[in-house]
Chain A
Amino acid sequence: MPDSIRLEVTRYRPDTDSEPQRQEYDVPLRKEWTVLDGLNHVKNEVDTTLSFRWSCRMGICGSCGMNVDGEPKLTCATFLTDYAPGPVRVEPLANFPVVRDLVVDLFDFMERLPRVKPWIIRDDDVTEVDGEYLQTPEELDAYKQFSMCINCMLCYSACPVYGLDPTFIGPAAIALAERYDLDSRDHGARERLDVLIEHEGVWGCTFVGECTRVCPKHVDPAGAIQRYKLKAAKESVKAFLLPRGTR
């Protein structure tokens, strides 16, 4: 095994660069080193001006997502040895505006996440003061996988529909809506459907399926979106067939 590997890192300094540039760094290639370890080595030992986000280093915080050799990845879970002998291209997550170097602007997502109401909605007056909402293990299993989302934005980066039409609400937000719809304690399915049935809701999705493939937590946003289309279709057929009042 060679003892070093080259990182081709995209740099963008808004005060001096008119567009992103590429900069190369050689970092030690160690069996247990991830791409994030390589970037931290650069930051600590070579070039302190390099900017990137990270926090937990264990695939939970969801802040170190970047495009590694063109694939959206959590850099803390992507090992340099898998790219040996290199070089490894490290770019900011695709489809988002770049703030600086490897840091992208997530404002779009932050703005639309609350639109799908990802919290428990009750249609009665029961609150946590009245005690816990009880749930069986089966009821937990129904939504558990969708609750694993860490908002790392890899799915948005992999989604060409979002890249082409940034008004599309997008994979993670819709998967989170499905997470609450499937929760036995929740009564908000209709309210969320009213949001997602809108044009920028689920209809832009053409089921490329990449969101599901790149998800580091094995959530299935693509599946959630198609199931919303089916739900919306069922409701619409009902609305056309049944007289007002009975629906």
Chain B
Amino acid sequence: MTEVRTYRRPMSIWWWTKKRSYFVFVMRELSSIFVAWFVVFLLLLVRAVGRGGAAYDDFLDWAASPGIVVLNFIAMGFLLLHTVTWFNLTPQAMAVRVHGRPVPPAVVIASQYVGLVVVSAFVYWLVTR
């Protein structure tokens, strides 16, 4: 058999900038950095709460400083991208069945938003009560 000389095209490191859907994908994956940041932020908050009223006030003043506010606005944008994409992909990732019948994707997505609203309302009530 004769050896066929094939050409392998190298994949550019910027492949994800060449198509909108690839770019959205990489942004979605980068949301992981901001999820981790919020975990660190909340841990610092919990630590401050544990240390007493003065430490708690100091933490909130620090959280109101311009640099942190800008960072948190950006992080919030990425977090919402995570929430929306996660909810949208759920019906594809798992076939939900109730009483043996498949649940339509729109219903699965909508019920997750209902869950988000219920959880958010509960947390809001718990914190501000």
B11 to chain A, nearest CB (A): 5
Query: Are B6's CB and A163's CB within 8 A?
Result: no
Stretch with Cβ within 8 A of A (4 or more), from B46-54, B63-71, B92-100, B116-124:
B92-100
Stretch with Cβ within 8 A of A (4 or more), from B18-26, B37-45, B72-80, B106-114:
B18-26
Select B4's contact among A105, A213, A223, beta carbons within 8 Å: A105
Query: Are B22's CB and A14's CB within 8 A?
Result: no
Query: Are B94's CB and A70's CB within 8 A?
Result: no
Asked whether A98 and B7 contact (CB < 8 A) given A160-B15, A207-B89, A227-B93, the answer is yes
Residues of A within 8 A of B129 (CB): none
A160 to B13, CA, bound (A): 11
Q: Count contacts between A and B, CB distance < 8 Å.
A: 61
A207 to B88, CA, bound (A): 12
A4 to chain B, nearest CB (A): 28
Select A207's contact among B4, B16, B93, beta carbons within 8 Å: B93
Interface size class of B (residues with CB under 8 A): 20 to 34
Query: Are B15's CB and A163's CB within 8 A?
Result: yes
User: 1/0 per residue A1-32: CB within 8 Å of B?
Assistant: 00000000000101000011000000000000
B5 nearest in chain A by CB position? A14
User: 1/0 per residue A78-90: CB within 8 Å of B?
Assistant: 0000000000000
Q: Which one of B9, B21, B22, B92 has the greatest number of beta carbons of chain A within 10 Å? A: B9
A99 to B5, CA, bound (A): 7
Is A230 among interface residues, defined by CB-CB distance under 8 A? Answer: yes
A154 to B22, CA, bound (A): 16
Query: Are A227's CB and B94's CB within 8 A?
Result: yes
Is B58 among interface residues, defined by CB-CB distance under 8 A? Answer: no
A123 to B120, CA, bound (A): 50
Query: Are A223's CB and B6's CB within 8 A?
Result: no
Is A58 among interface residues, defined by CB-CB distance under 8 A? Answer: no
A29 to chain B, nearest CB (A): 26
Query: Are A105's CB and B22's CB within 8 A?
Result: no
Select B9's contact among A94, A208, A210, beta carbons within 8 Å: A94
A213 nearest in chain B by CB position? B21
Select A19's contact among B7, B25, B93, beta carbons within 8 Å: B7
Residues of B within 8 A of A220 (CB): 92
Residues of B within 8 A of A163 (CB): 11, 15
A138 nearest in chain B by CB position? B100
Residues of A within 8 A of B95 (CB): 223, 227
B25 nearest in chain A by CB position? A208
Query: Are A97's CB and B29's CB within 8 A?
Result: no
A229 to B7, CA, bound (A): 34
Asked whether A14 and B7 contact (CB < 8 A) given A163-B15, A209-B25, A213-B21, the answer is yes
By a beta-carbon cutoff of 8 Å, the part of chain B in contact with chain A is 4-9, 11, 15-16, 18-19, 21-22, 25, 29, 89, 92-95
17 contacts between A and B (CB under 8 A): A12-B7, A14-B5, A20-B9, A97-B7, A97-B8, A98-B6, A98-B7, A98-B9, A105-B4, A105-B6, A163-B11, A208-B25, A220-B92, A223-B93, A223-B95, A227-B95, A229-B93
Q: A14-B7, A223-B93, A226-B92 are in contact. List 7 more A-B contacts (CB 8 A).
A: A20-B7, A97-B7, A105-B6, A160-B15, A210-B21, A227-B93, A227-B94
